[in-house]
A and B are shown apart, each in its own frame.
Chain A
Amino acid sequence: MNRLRYGLLVLVCLLAESAFCQTGTFSREWQFARYLSEKEANDEAAFVLQAIDKQALSAAQRDSLAYLRGWLAYGTKSLDEASRNLLAVSPGSPFYVKSRYFGAYCLSFQTQRDSARIVMQGLPATDSTLIELRAFEQAGLALLQRRYSRYDILRQQFSYSSYALSAEETRLDAYRKGLAAQKRRSPALAGLFSAVLPGSGKVYAGKPKQGIAAFLPLLTLGLLTWEGYRKDGPTSLRFLGFGSLFTVFYIGNIWGSTLAVKVRRDEFNRGYDNKILFDMHIPLRNLLNR
């Protein structure tokens, strides 16, 4: 009887120790990985997190693991992995708020703007600062999507007085004005301009130096063709050679001018997108990265 009691006691002790060890091991490994992440030893931190068996974890532990994996991926600019992990954190986790905001930002950065909008609509906001931050992030996204009317509605929630948001809010307003003032240029019109005067289409598209660079060789080839025609006649090799070269360059310039409008527009949009994303990021770091 005594032996049986002793055996039961040992069994209970072993089971309790096993459960305790599992929690303790995860906690220790998680702390260690976070320590590595703070030291920017990202490869080592990823190695430690990789070794953790996900199946044996509780829901809360899985959240902590997803948060840290996401944060690590965010630090190494692997934004796809970062958003996937950060958005997997459940509402009960202490990292939920930070994970949602940064996850939504990662989606915005990856140009998954519609998914980002859906996530941002459900961003947790428990106090006035977070409410304003949510509106700010949504407004930034609206600008990225060029939805100006939505931006105008969201910006009504800007207070312009919060230390962490005021400068960025003012800048977003400036971007809104800059984007609205963008001139709509027509590729067809640029091509037409270049057909009339070579290079002028590129000047119209907003690339004056390229316009001059296109005009000068075409002028030279045109003059050479004219000289060949005037001195040797329309069947001469000189006229046909220079004439063919002029034609190729002339048509190429018209085609290039229509493309230049699109290139210039893309450059303009990319420039503003980078500025908006940068300003969306600053308050997140200041308010949530603690």
Chain B
Amino acid sequence: MTTRFCLICTFLCGICSIAKAQTPLAQVDSLFASGQFLAARVGYERVLFTAESSALQVGAVMGKARCLKQQGLYAQAVTFLNSQTQPGYPDSLLYPLRREQILCAYLAGQFENALSLLDRLPYLHPEVPPSPLLMAIRVLSLNELRRWPEAAIAYHKLAMMAQADTLSMPYRQLPHLKSEKKAQWLSTFIPGAGQFYAGRPGEAALSIVMQSAGLYFGITSFLQGYYLSAWGVGAGLFGSFHAGGVRRAEVLVRQLNERRAAAFNANVRQQVLEMVK
């Protein structure tokens, strides 16, 4: 009886140990699935700390990167993946890591970094064909950097690959960006013109009124013999509002350009995401 009891216990212990050894990632994945991201990150790190198999390690790296992405810590994910892309891993396992790193770099707003990583990929993995997702990231990164001619070429390649309509290219009509320097020059010589150029007629009118008031006060004071008031108040007001108007025109044009670029990029992003789907 005792011998049978001991044998059953031994058998059950053995089964449990084997199951535990086989599913270290599955347990952590369940933490991830239940939204316990920090606990899951620790779990994936634990797998990295103990596991000797490259497949398990890469699985853990990908898992931790997913957690960081879920928590919005994209820059941290890029740094983490950068430290984990070891040459010791086989190429088939390294490729997903590099792909994830590129995606995180884009999400972190590191557009130059994303493009640099994308450029390196064909040399590091010549056997892997370009994926639509990575091509989409290239298009979107180039867009964010306002390198639209290059983005148009990349978009065309992506559309060909996705067998989408290449005729209705959004790049046929690029956003018209205004010149900050031109706005400055306009405001320097014609008060309010820079603001008008930036599409803000209200601000332009206000600038004209304030500068005119300073000028008027200066001239009338001078004519009435108040030379110091003409200089100290009239010229002072005019000079201050004039210099401020020049700087304000530059800021307004920059804001306008940012709005136009953002609207264009959002439109392209929508189309690119539909293609990748």
Query: What is A's interface to B at a CB cutoff of 8 Å?
Result: 3, 6, 32, 35-36, 39, 41, 43-44, 47-48, 220-221, 223-224, 226-228, 231, 238
User: Is the pair B226, A44 in contact by a Cβ cutoff of 8 Å?
Assistant: no
User: Is the pair A44, B42 in contact by a Cβ cutoff of 8 Å?
Assistant: yes
Contacting residues, chain A, for B233 (C-beta < 8 A): 224
Contacting residues, chain A, for B45 (C-beta < 8 A): 32, 36, 39, 41, 44
Main SS class of interface, A: helix
Contacting residues, chain A, for B229 (C-beta < 8 A): 224, 227-228, 238
User: Is the pair A32, B46 in contact by a Cβ cutoff of 8 Å?
Assistant: yes
Q: Shortest distance in angstroms between B81's beta carbon and chain A's nearest beta carbon?
A: 13
User: Is the pair B41, A220 in contact by a Cβ cutoff of 8 Å?
Assistant: no
When the two chains form the complex, which single residue of A3, A32, A47 contacts B49, counting CB atoms closer than 8 Å?
Answer: A32
Cβ-based interface call for B2 (8 A)? yes
Main SS class of interface, B: helix
Instruction: Give me 10 other A-B pairs in contact (C-beta within 8 A), A43-B38, A227-B229 excluded.
Output: A6-B2, A32-B46, A35-B49, A41-B80, A44-B38, A44-B41, A44-B45, A47-B39, A221-B232, A226-B228
Cβ-based interface call for B225 (8 A)? yes
Q: How far is the CA of A158 from the CA of B229 in the complex (A)?
A: 66
Chain B interface residue count, CB cutoff 8 Å, equals 18
Closest 3 CB pairs of A and B: A227-B228, A220-B232, A223-B228
In this complex, what residue of B is CB-closest to A220? Answer: B232
Contacting residues, chain A, for B34 (C-beta < 8 A): none
Q: Which of B114-141 contact A (CB under 8 A)?
A: none
Q: Shortest distance in angstroms between B59's beta carbon and chain A's nearest beta carbon?
A: 17
Contacting residues, chain B, for A3 (C-beta < 8 A): 2
Cβ-based interface call for B175 (8 A)? no
Q: Can you list 12 pairs linking A and B with CB atoms under 8 Å apart? A: A6-B2, A32-B45, A41-B80, A43-B38, A43-B41, A44-B41, A44-B42, A44-B45, A224-B229, A224-B232, A224-B233, A228-B229
Check A231/B83 contact, CB under 8 A, given A36-B45, A44-B45, A47-B38. Answer: no
When the two chains form the complex, which single residue of B49, B80, B232 contacts A223, counting CB atoms closer than 8 Å?
Answer: B232
Q: How far is the CA of A250 from the CA of B42 in the complex (A)?
A: 63
Q: Which of B228-244 contact A (CB under 8 A)?
A: 228-229, 232-233, 236
